[in-house]
Amino acid sequence: MPIVVKNLTHVYMPGTPFESVALRDVNWKVEDGEFWGLIGHTGSGKSTLIQHLNGLLKPTSGEVIVDGVNLSDRGVNLREIRQKVGLVFQYPEHQLFEETVEKDVAFGPRNLGLPEDEIARRVKEAIELVGLKYDEIKDRSPFELSGGQMRRVAIAGVLAMKPKVLILDEPTVGLDPRGRDEILGQIVEFRKKQNMTVILVSHSMEDIAKLVDKIAVMHKGRMVDSGTPKQIFKNYEALASMGLDIPQVTHLMIKLKNRGKDVATDVMTVEEAEAEVLKAARRKGHA
């Protein structure tokens, strides 16, 4: 179920004194099963872009085509599109509202008009996919859970709709390191199990570098770059000028290279850096 974005422009409040162009001529193709990271400074247009992918916003001009369907066409069943393209907003736990975890996660599938036994099955599966124990948690109030657990319940609510594409907007913001690693680990797991396409919006290059296949960079409403993480991080100077960081170890390798050391600079994780430094040190007989 590929998503194709063609010449997408979006203007907020056109024709008013508050008119502002949020997206300018964006072109993007997301293939089945890909894992994308979408990065950019606040106000770069990331959130506006993802809200077009399930029809929450309509293009001012250009097209968004999901699974062959142009979302601007008359008579498009947006409900069906939103079931296929699940969107998890920032702080999704603010959207929890039911008395129990089970009811909250069941809300989406129930709105789809599914039979009760199917709803029950999906709810259980979704809760387990986010790494929570169904029997222990199903009857608890979502509001007495920890921040990380609440967020996972909110994600389960979207997973229970069985989307083909899952978009997560800053899923780890405000969590402690363990909570962050748990959520990211679960995303990797359920992506594999459900064979989903995932788009992760994040400010954390270190997280993105570890997880995704491809990165798209937004800047001032334009998609200025896209490619594999290694390709993207090569342009570290351009990224820095847009207020974006690269992983610390990537930065380290670039600085070593600039000092004339024979090391590869396309390193993104601590493990890769360790291997690279050891290799270079061995050549000099220091390890």
Partner 1 sequence: MAAEILAEGVCYQYSRSSQMALKDVNLRIGKGEFVAIIGPNGSGKSTLAKLFNGLFVPTKGRVTVDGLDTRDRENVWKIRQKAGMVFQNPDNQIVATVVEEDVAFGPENLGVPPEEIRRRVDEALEIVELKDYAQKPPHQLSGGQKQRVAIAGILAMRPEYIIMDEPTAMLDPVGRKEVINTVKRLNREEGKTIVLITHFMEEAVQADRIIVMSEGRVLMEGSPREIFSKVDELKTIGLDVPQVTELAHRLKGRGLAVRSDVLTIDEMVECLCPLL
Binding site for partner 1 (CB under 8 A): 41-43, 146-148, 173-179, 203, 206, 243-245, 247-249, 251-252, 255-256, 259, 261-263, 270, 273-274, 277-278, 280-281, 284, 286-287
Query: Do the beta carbons of residue 139 and residue 168 sit within 8 Å?
Result: no
Quote the CA–CA distance of 47 and 44 in Å, as a whole number. 8
Query: Which residues are CB-contacts of 192 (< 8 A; sequence separation ≥ 6)?
Result: none
Quote the CA–CA distance of 154 and 199 in Å, as a whole number. 17
- For residue 65, give both structure tokens: 């085509």
Query: Do the beta carbons of residue 123 and residue 102 sit within 8 Å?
Result: yes
DSSP state of 130: T
Nearer to partner 1, 74 or 178 (CB): 178
Q: How far is the CB of 218 from partner 1 (least distance, A)?
A: 13
Residue 219, strand partner residues: 222
Q: How far is the CB of 184 from partner 1 (least distance, A)?
A: 13
Closest CA to 106 of 161, 33, 147, 176: 161
Quote the CA–CA distance of 152 and 149 in Å, as a whole number. 5
Q: How far is the CB of 287 from partner 1 (least distance, A)?
A: 5
Q: How far is the CB of 21 from partner 1 (least distance, A)?
A: 18
Q: DSSP 3-state assignment of 27?
A: strand
Nearer to partner 1, 113 or 260 (CB): 260
Q: How far is the CB of 91 from partner 1 (least distance, A)?
A: 9
Nearer to partner 1, 109 or 229 (CB): 229
Nearer to partner 1, 73 or 144 (CB): 144
> How many Å is the Cα radius of gyration of the chain?
21
Nearer to partner 1, 160 or 249 (CB): 249
Nearer to partner 1, 42 or 75 (CB): 42
Q: How far is the CB of 85 from partner 1 (least distance, A)?
A: 25
